[in-house]
Each structure stands twice: as structure tokens, then as C-alpha cells.
């Protein structure tokens, strides 16, 4: 039995088809990442898995319990870390954890012990008496995670738990995820940072526009761009016309530009790079930097969609 | 158990702010004292003093049938003291304050018939004094009825093509008005005349205390219904949905918190009224308990609905205050329903707040026993259930 099994989930908001028949599965004890840009439909998928949104079609099972027919059983084995902080700002970290522990059915000594353990996991034992509202973004995120761990769920779903926080807190959280997984929890981790997906995951499902467009281990996904190289370039001019010229250069398989950095996917950099210089030169533009990258998940996304993943 | 935990969390959040206690308990106590005095002042004075409003009746042709009809009708009223005077005398006594108003009957008033239109009467009174207003209200009904009787009579004379039909038709129409309006008239006069002392029993706080109790129970929703809005704002409601808690358990938890708060408030106010103001709630302790529990359940269920409907804290305050005004004004918490007029009292009777007042007053004023508490309790519980179902329905449909 898979820990998470998602079959053909669909969800529309009016005209917008946010999730269009998504299917994937997470084996027991693994970390599965949902990787995709903002708006891909990751949170919507997770909201359906955690019982916040009713799917328009399809079903999913958590530890074998259907979210449609046995929602309570499905939820009981599930811990959800929502994308937005969901805590009481006027209560202290400890009061928050105690409350959520009770909501997961813990009582008395077991509750107290578990709250202490979780405070240790998230590294906030010495700040437990402070109101959560006064915490930094990173500390809030850690309590937000802690609240989902109290009942030692077999499956944890985390929705972009590292968005907008300092590097130390992010490191702490990534280490937490690995440690929880080492102890046997199955983790479904959504992110739009390909480094996180690469570091954590046993399997990765790449999502875009409401669909899973690729699935596999990190290495399997990289093989999709076999032999292709990604080149990041910068120009001395704002080069919309340069981009147009490069698109039709022979050997260019994908191109995208964000924040002045042009990312080009090529079959053979030795062959294509001179052509790029030449095409730019014809338009009076100069290439100011070239960075040839090993193929990574970013390259895969570019290969699959023609767009860059980074935001 | 989870329901209780959720309720305790809600309560600890509400009571964290010490101002809330002031708002919940101190304010209603001050209001009760004030209202008690206000009712007291309203009734004090010589028991035998004539509280009727003086009206000078000026009519140059006192023998006409129409004038006689009107005069007789006005004289019948318990709320009016009508004296016939000459115009000059009448204006003098108005100036001296001996009468509140002067009603001037135009010459030719008595000669209206099938062809004539109704001639205007003139009321001379201080229009912005409360006595002047009351007088106007007291005169409005009989005069408009007389006008319509004349209309009816002239129409029927017209239809029959015989002016002679006018007089009998007028008599008939007037007699009908007299009959059907007797009830109406009594209510109206009660509303404007001062409330009889006996209404309160022997303690003026007998009206003020339960009235304020019910009013502030609703007002407490200003604080407690915020909880639901906050749960959505902090997204903790969404997180709660991801636990194995069922929707009805969540709703029940919040309901319990609101009930707890309003019941605590009610209990404190009852104790204060009993031991400090001598309002005898413990005359029938179980009856008081039943009515209070049912009233608090109704208020809490209404708070739940407000919490589910309101999109912001501002809306919670607005909805709570509107409910408070609506249910207080219509339900007779500010002044006895018995003292207000027809349609108003009829609608008021249907209000849960009116049933709460009835429940308390059966104990406090009418001195009835436990059996008299059952009906108000049952009706309040039915209201509570209705509001709860409405809130649950809205809750399930809520966009999170
Ligand atoms: N409650 C909602 N109502 C309308 N549109 C929504 C709602 N939630 C999400 N969407 C839309 O659905 C799409 C997917 O959103 P989301 O699942 O949040 O993506 P992600 O988490 O991958 O960034 C987006 O276009 C978003 O604007
Ligand atoms: Mg998201």
C-alpha cells in the first residue's frame, strides 16, 4: 500500500481549471516533492488531500483511507503544514502546540511530553513562552510545522514551508524534514525551489498549469534532458529582439529570460555558443557573461515547458 | 472533549483582555441602576394626581352632530381631560400651562354633508414637547376615524343618489369604528399615558434588571462573535479542518464558548440583582435557571450565525448592535410590551427576547411557579435550534 495515492484529482474555480486530473503516489517512508512554479496548482492539490477543498473529480487515499468516503480516518494519519501560517498570534508557542495537540486527541502527560519533543525538534524550547505573534517569519514557520507533528502522523504534507525566510531557518527546516523522514514519516513536500526538491526527494513530480508533467527520481528526470546543456547569459542591452533571434538559432531547444538573465537550453554548447555571439553581434548587442550549467531540474523544466522555473 | 478544549481556548482568548469583563458586567450593572431610577422617576409623584393631558375644546356650534360625536369620543378617553372653552380663554389657559393643547373646531364643521369636504380642525399645542406629541397621537386616531366616517357616509349617499342617506350612513360608520377601534384605542392610550405603577410589582428593578440582562446578553456578542472571524483570519479554522475534527464539532465548540460567556454574564447579573437590588430571581430558582439557559443558548446560536456571516470585526460589531437594537426594542426589554401599541406589540410578542422577558417576569412580577417557565423556555430553545441550524448551514457553505 502506498502512503499517498492520488487518482485523477480535478478542481476548478469558475472557469479556471486549477488542477486538471493530477495523479501520483508516494511510497511509505519516502519524500515526494511536488515541484512547480507559483500557480501550478500545488496548494489546490494539497487542500484537496487535506480535506479543505472537495475535488470536482477523482479521489485520493491517505494510508489507504479515501478522502471522499473516510475523511476522518484519512485526516487522522495526516499532518498538514499549510502554506500560510495558521497559528494563534496571541498565544505562546507552547500554548499553540498544546492546543493543537488536544485537537489531535492528545491529553495529559503524553501531550506534555510530545509538546516538549516537538519544541526540541523545531528548536524553540527556549522561546516557548513567547507569543507567536512576536516571532520572526522563520520562527513562525517552525511553529507552523511543529503544530502538524504533534500526533506523530504517518504522513506529513508540507506546502512551501520555506517561503520567505532567512537561510538559517530554512536550513533548520530542511534538516527537520530529513530527520522526520529518517524516523519513518512519509513526506509530501511542495516547493518551487528546485534545489530543495533535489536535496530532499526520493521522487519528484513536476507540476505545471494544473498537471503533473514529469515524475521520477532526480536522476531519471535529469536524463530527460540527456546531452543538453543550459547556458545562462547576460547582455549589455535589454534584448527582446536578441531573444527572438536566438530562438531560431539552430541547436537552441528552449529559451527564457528572467531578471536580465537569459537561459538557453542547447544540444551542444561548443557548437551553439558561437552562433549566439554572432546573432547578438548582428543586432549590435554584446554578451557580457556566460555561465554553462550542469543540467539540473531547472533545465528539465525549461526543456518540458520552454519556460524557466525560478521566480 | 475536543469540543470543550476548543471552547476553553476561545474563552481564554476572549477573557485575556480584562476590559471585556468591564464591558460584560460593569456596564450592564450601571445601566440597570440607571434604568431603575429612570422608571422610578417616571412613576414618582402623588399617587392621586391627575396625569391626564388637558385639552381645551373650542367649538362655536356645540350642538352639531359631528361635534357631539367627536367630543363624546374624546371625553371617553382615560388619557384626556377635555374642557369646553371659548377660544380666548382656551389660549390663555394654554399659555398658563393649564391645558396641553387647544382643539379648534371650524365653523360649519357640523354642516358637512354629502356634498361637503371635511373641514380642517386645528390643534394648537407645543409640537416639540412630549406632552404635545402625546396629545397629537391621542387625537390623530379618533379624528381620522371621524374623517373616514364622513367620507364613507358621503360616498354611500352619493351612490344612492339621496342626500338624506348621509346622516344614517354616518351614524352607522361611526358606530362600526367605535366598535372595532376600542381595543386599538386602549393600547394607544396606554402607550402615551404613563405606565401604571402596579406593572412593576413592588420593585422598579423588576423591569430594568431582566431587560438589561437580555439586552446585554445580545451585546456580549460584540466580543464573542469576533472569535470566528479571527479563526478565519489567522487561518486556524482551516488548520482545524485538516484535523480529524468534524464540522459540527467545531461549530459546537465555538457555540459552547459563546454560551459560556453569556451565561457567566447572566449569572453575575442575576446574582447582583438578587442580592443588591432585591429582584427576586430566586423566588423560583429552577425557573430562572431554565429561562436563562434557554436565553443564553439562543443568544449564543445567534452569535454563531453572526460570526459565520461577518467578514470582518467591524461587521461583527455592526451585526451584534443591530441585533441588540432590534430584539431589545421589539422584545420589550426597554419598556413593557404591554405599554406599547397594537402592531408593535404583536410583532414584539413573537421575538425570542420577548419570550425571555416573559419568562423572567412570570417569576419576578407575576410570581408564577416553575410551570410558567416551560413555555418561554421551549420557545427560546426552538429559536436557539433554528439559529444553530442556520449557522451550521452557512458554515458548511463557507469559502475558506
Ligand atoms: N480559492 C481560489 N479561488 C480562485 N482561484 C484560486 C483559488 N485558489 C487557487 N486559485 C488559482 O488556482 C491556481 C493554482 O493555485 P495554487 O494551487 O495556489 O498554486 P500553487 O500552490 O502551485 O502556487 C492559481 O491560478 C490560483 O490563482
Ligand atoms: Mg501554493
A191 CB within 6 A, ligand 1 = no
Q: How large is the average pLDDT for residues A128-157?
A: 94
Q: Rounded to the nearest 10 degrees, how much is the dihedral formed by the CA atoms of A166, A169, A172, A174?
A: -60
Give the DSSP per-residue string, A202-247. SEEEEEETTEEEEEE-HHHHHHTTTT-EEEEEEESS--HHHHHHHH
Task: Give the gap in angstroms from C-alpha A99 to the nearest C-alpha of chain B.
Answer: 7
B44 contact A CB<8A? no
Q: Contact at 8 Å (CB) between A298 and A310?
A: yes
Chain B contact set for A75 (CB, 8 A): 242-244
How many CB atoms sit inside 10 A of residue A155's CB?
Answer: 20
Cell of B286: 429552577
* CATH 3.40.50.300 is held by the domain A4-222: yes
Q: Are A255 and A275 in contact (CB under 8 A)?
A: no
Domain ranges for chain B: 2-43+200-399, 53-195
pLDDT of res. B198 = 45
Contact B139, B123 (CB under 8 A): yes
Q: CA-CA distance, B103 to B87, in Å (whole number)?
A: 9
Q: Residue A105's closest chain B neighbor by CA?
A: B2
Which residues of chain A lie closer than 8 angstroms to B240, CB-CB? 103
Q: For position A310, what pLDDT does the model report? A: 64
Range B2-9 average pLDDT: 95
- Ligand 1, atom 1: nearest CA belongs to which residue? A13
pLDDT band at B184 (very low <50, low <70, confident <90, very high): very low
Asked whether the beta carbons of residue B244 and residue A87 sit closer than 8 angstroms, the reply is: no
State mean pLDDT over A115-132: 94
Residues A122-146, mean pLDDT to the nearest whole number = 94
Q: How far is the CA of A298 from the centre of ligand 2 (A)?
A: 19
Residue pLDDT, tens place only, A3-56: 999 999 999 999 999 999 999 999 999 999 999 999 999 999 999 999 999 999
Q: Whose CA is nearest to atom 27 of ligand 1?
A: A39
All CATH 3.40.50.300 domain ranges in chain A, comma separated: 4-222
**Residues around the ion ligand 2 (C-beta < 5 A):** A 42-43, 83
Would the pLDDT of B321 be above 90? no
- DSSP for residue B91: H
Query: Is it the case that residue B342 has pLDDT exceeding 50?
Result: yes
* Ligand 1 pocket member A41 (CB < 6 A): yes
The predicted structure's pLDDT at residue B371: 82
Average pLDDT over residues B26-45: 66
Could you say which of B2, B13, B242 has the minimum Cβ distance to residue A50?
Answer: B242
Mean pLDDT value across residues A284-311:
84
How much is the pTM?
0.73
What distance lies between CA B399 and its chain's CA centroid?
37
pLDDT at B350: 84
- Rounded to an integer, what distance in angstroms lies between the CA atom of residue B158 and that of residue B143? 22
Tell me the pLDDT tens digit for each residue of A173-197. Answer: 999 999 999 999 999 999 999 999 9
At A305, which helix (H) or strand (E)?
helix A297-305
Mean pLDDT of chain A: 92
Question: By the 8 A CB rule, do B112 and B150 touch?
Answer: yes
Q: Point out the least confidently predicted range of A57-61, B13-17, B163-167, B357-361.
A: B163-167
Q: Looking at the predicted structure, is the pLDDT value of residue A221 above 90?
A: yes
Greater model confidence, A267 or B294: B294
Instruction: Provide the pLDDT for residue B23.
Output: 81
Residue B335: predicted pLDDT: 65
**How many other CB atoms are found less than 10 A from the CB of residue B338?**
14
Q: Which atom of ligand 1 is nearest the CA belonging to A159? A: 21
Predicted local confidence at residue A89, as pLDDT: 95
pLDDT band of A107, cuts 50, 70, 90 = very high
Ligand 1 near A295 CB (within 6 A): no
- Asked if the Cβ–Cβ distance from A104 to B242 is below 8 Å, we say no
Contacts of A85 in chain B (CB under 8 A): 234-235
Note the pLDDT tens digit of each residue in A96-106: 999 999 999 99
Residue A154 pLDDT > 90 = yes
Contacts of B234 in chain A (CB under 8 A): 85-89
In this prediction, residue B128 carries a pLDDT of 63
Mean per-residue pLDDT, A143-160 = 95
- Distance, CA of A28 to CA of A5 (rounded, Å): 11
Q: Which of A72, A73, A78 sits opposite B246 (nearest CB)?
A: A72
Query: With an 8 Å Cβ cutoff, are A52 and B241 in contact?
Result: yes
Helix axes A108-121, A93-103, angle to 10 degrees: 130
**Higher pLDDT pick, B398 / B218:** B218
**In the predicted structure, residue B196 carries a pLDDT above the cut 60:** no
Q: What is the pLDDT of residue B112?
A: 64
Give the least confident one: A294-308, B35-49, B142-156, B313-327.
B35-49
> Residue B187 has what pLDDT?
45
pLDDT at B1 over 90: no
Q: Do B2 and A84 touch (CB under 8 A)?
A: no
Say if the Cβ atoms of A99 and B13 lie within 8 Å.
no
The better pLDDT of the pair B180, B5 is held by B5
**Hey, what CATH topology would domain A228-294 get?**
Alpha-Beta Plaits (3.30.70)
Share of chain B above pLDDT 90, in %: 24
- The confidence band for A143, taking pLDDT boundaries of 50, 70 and 90, is very high
Element (H, E) at B241: helix B236-242
Cα dihedral across residues A88, A91, A97, A102: positive or negative: negative
**Matching residue, cell 471552547:** B7
Per-residue pLDDT tens digits for A11-22: 999 999 999 999
- The 10s digit of each residue's pLDDT in B140-182 is 767 767 776 777 777 777 666 777 778 887 887 777 767 655 5
pLDDT for B117: 58
Report chain A residues whose CB lies below 8 A from the CB of B246.
72
Q: Which residue has the higher pLDDT, A59 or A241?
A: A59
B82 lies within 8 A of chain A by CB: no
Q: How confident is the model at residue B194 (pLDDT cuts 50, 70, 90)?
A: very low
What is the predicted pLDDT for the residue at B344?
A: 66
Taking the domain B53-195, which CATH number applies? Answer: 3.40.190
DSSP string of B96-110, one letter each residue: TTSSSEEEEPPTTGG
Q: Which atom of ligand 1 is nearest to the CA of A207?
A: 22
Instruction: Tell me which of B368 and B40 has the higher pLDDT.
Output: B368
Predicted pLDDT of residue B183: 46
Nearest residue by C-alpha to atom 24 in ligand 1: A39
Task: Report yes or no: B241 at the A interface, CB cutoff 8 Å.
Answer: yes
Task: Please give the distance, rounded to the nearest whole angstrom, from the Cα atom of residue A192 to the centre of ligand 1.
Answer: 14
What pLDDT, on the 0 to 100 scale, is given for residue A237? 84
What is the distance between the alpha carbons of residues B192 and B186, in angstroms, rounded to a whole number?
10
Query: What does the pLDDT look like over B274-317, one tens digit per residue?
Result: 998 888 898 889 999 999 999 999 999 999 999 999 988 888 88
pLDDT for A67: 93
| Burial readout A117-148 (b: 16 or more C-beta within 10 A, e: otherwise) | ebbebbbbeebbeeebeebeebbbbbbbbbbb
pLDDT at B193 over 60: no
DSSP per-residue letters across B247-307? HHHHHHHHHHHHHHHHHHHHHHHHHHHHHTS---GGGSHHHHHHHHHHHHHHHHHHHHHHH
Percent of chain A with pLDDT over 70: 99
A206 lines ligand 1 (CB under 6 A): no
Contact in structure between A188 and A204 (CB atoms under 8 Å): no
Amino acid at each position: 500500500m502506498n502512503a499517498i495515492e492520488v487518482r485523477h484529482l480535478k478542481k476548478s474555480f469558475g472557469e479556471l481549471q486549477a488542477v486538471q486530473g493530477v495523479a501520483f503516489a508516494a511510497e511509505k517512508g519516502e519524500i515526494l516533492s511536488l515541484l512547480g512554479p507559483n500557480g501550478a496548482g500545488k496548494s489546490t492539490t494539497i487542500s484537496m488531500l487535506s480535506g479543505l477543498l472537495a475535488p470536482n473529480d477523482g479521489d485520493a487515499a491517505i494510508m489507504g483511507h479515501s478522502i471522499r468516503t473516510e475523511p476522518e480516518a484519512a485526516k487522522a494519519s495526516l499532518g498538514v503544514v499549510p502554506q500560510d501560517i495558521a497559528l494563534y498570534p496571541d498565544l505562546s508557542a507552547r500554548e499553540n502546540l498544546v492546543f493543537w495537540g488536544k485537537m489531535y486527541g492528545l491529553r495529559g502527560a503524553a501531550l506534555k511530553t510530545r509538546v516538549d519533543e516537538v519544541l526540541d525538534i523545531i528548536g524553540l524550547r527556549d522561546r516557548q513562552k513567547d507569543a507567536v505573534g512576536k516571532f520572526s517569519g522563520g520562527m513562525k514557520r517552525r511553529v507552523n510545522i511543529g503544530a502538524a507533528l504533534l500526533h506523530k502522523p504517518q504522513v506529513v504534507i508540507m506546502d512551501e514551508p520555506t517561503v520567505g525566510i532567512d537561510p538559517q531557518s530554512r536550513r533548520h527546516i530542511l534538516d527537520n524534514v530529513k530527520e522526520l523522514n529518517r524516523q519513518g514519516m512519509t513526506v509530501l513536500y511542495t516547493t518551487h525551489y528546485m534545489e530543495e526538491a533535489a536535496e530532499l526527494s526520493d521522487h519528484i513530480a513536476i507540476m505545471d498549469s494544473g498537471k503533473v508533467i514529469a515524475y521520477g527520481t532526480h536522476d531519471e528526470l535529469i536524463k530527460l534532458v540527456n546531452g543538453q546543456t543550459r547556458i545562462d547569459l547576460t547582455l549589455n542591452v535589454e534584448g527582446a529582439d536578441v531573444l527572438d533571434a536566438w530562438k531560431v538559432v539552430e541547436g537552441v531547444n528552449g529559451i527564457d529570460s528572467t531578471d536580465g538573465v537569459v537561459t538557453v537550453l542547447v544540444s551542444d554548447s561548443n557548437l551553439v555558443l558561437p552562433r549566439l555571439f554572432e546573432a547578438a553581434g548582428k543586432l549590435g548587442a554584446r554578451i557580457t557573461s556566460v555561465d554553462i550549467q550542469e543540467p539540473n531540474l531547472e533545465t528539465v523544466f525549461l526543456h518540458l515547458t520552454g519556460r524557466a522555473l525560478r521566480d | 472533549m475536543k469540543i470543550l478544549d476548543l471552547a476553553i481556548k476561545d474563552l481564554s482568548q476572549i477573557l485575556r483582555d480584562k476590559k471585556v469583563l468591564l464591558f460584560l458586567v460593569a456596564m450592564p450593572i450601571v445601566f440597570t441602576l440607571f434604568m431603575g431610577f429612570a422608571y422610578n422617576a417616571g412613576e414618582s409623584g402623588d399617587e392621586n394626581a391627575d396625569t391626564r393631558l388637558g385639552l381645551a375644546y373650542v367649538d362655536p356650534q356645540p350642538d352639531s352632530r359631528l361635534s357631539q360625536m367627536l367630543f363624546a369620543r374624546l371625553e371617553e378617553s382615560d388619557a384626556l381631560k377635555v374642557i369646553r372653552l371659548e377660544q380666548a380663554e382656551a389660549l390663555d389657559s394654554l399659555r398658563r400651562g393649564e391645558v396641553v393643547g387647544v382643539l379648534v373646531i371650524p365653523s360649519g364643521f357640523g354642516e358637512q354633508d354629502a356634498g361637503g369636504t371635511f373641514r380642517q380642525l386645528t390643534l394648537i399645542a407645543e409640537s416639540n414637547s412630549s406632552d404635545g406629541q402625546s396629545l397629537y397621537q391621542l387625537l390623530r386616531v379618533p379624528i381620522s376615524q371621524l374623517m373616514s366616517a364622513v367620507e364613507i357616509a358621503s360616498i354611500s349617499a352619493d351612490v344612492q343618489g339621496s342626500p338624506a342617506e348621509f346622516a344614517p350612513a354616518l351614524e352607522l360608520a361611526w358606530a362600526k369604528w367605535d366598535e372595532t377601534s376600542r381595543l386599538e384605542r386602549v393600547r394607544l392610550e396606554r402607550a402615551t399615558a404613563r405606565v401604571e405603577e402596579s406593572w412593576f410589582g413592588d420593585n422598579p428593578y423588576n423591569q430594568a434588571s431582566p431587560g438589561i440582562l437580555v439586552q446585554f446578553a445580545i451585546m456580549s456578542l460584540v466580543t464573542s462573535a469576533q472569535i470566528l472571524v479571527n479563526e478565519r483570519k489567522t487561518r486556524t479554522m482551516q488548520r482545524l479542518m485538516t484535523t480529524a475534527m468534524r464540522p459540527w464539532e467545531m461549530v459546537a465548540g465555538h457555540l459552547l464558548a459563546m454560551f459560556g460567556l453569556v451565561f457567566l454574564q447572566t449569572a453575575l447579573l442575576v446574582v447582583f440583582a438578587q442580592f443588591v437590588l432585591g429582584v427576586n430571581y430566586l423566588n423560583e430558582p429552577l425557573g430562572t435557571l431554565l429561562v436563562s439557559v434557554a436565553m443564553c443558548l439562543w443568544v449564543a446560536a445567534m452569535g454563531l450565525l453572526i460570526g459565520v456571516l461577518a467578514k470582518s470585526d467591524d461587521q461583527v460589531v455592526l451585526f451584534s448592535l443591530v441585533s441588540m437594537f432590534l430584539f431589545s426594542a421589539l422584545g420589550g426589554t426597554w419598556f413593557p410590551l404591554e405599554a406599547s401599541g397594537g402592531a408593535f406589540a404583536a410583532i414584539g410578542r413573537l421575538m425570542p427576547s420577548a419570550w425571555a422577558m416573559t419568562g423572567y417576569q412570570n417569576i419576578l412580577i407575576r410570581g408564577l411557579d416553575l410551570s410558567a417557565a416551560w413555555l418561554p423556555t421551549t420557545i427560546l430553545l426552538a429559536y436557539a435550534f433554528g439559529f444553530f441550524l442556520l449557522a451550521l448551514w452557512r458554515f458548511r457553505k463557507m469559502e475558506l
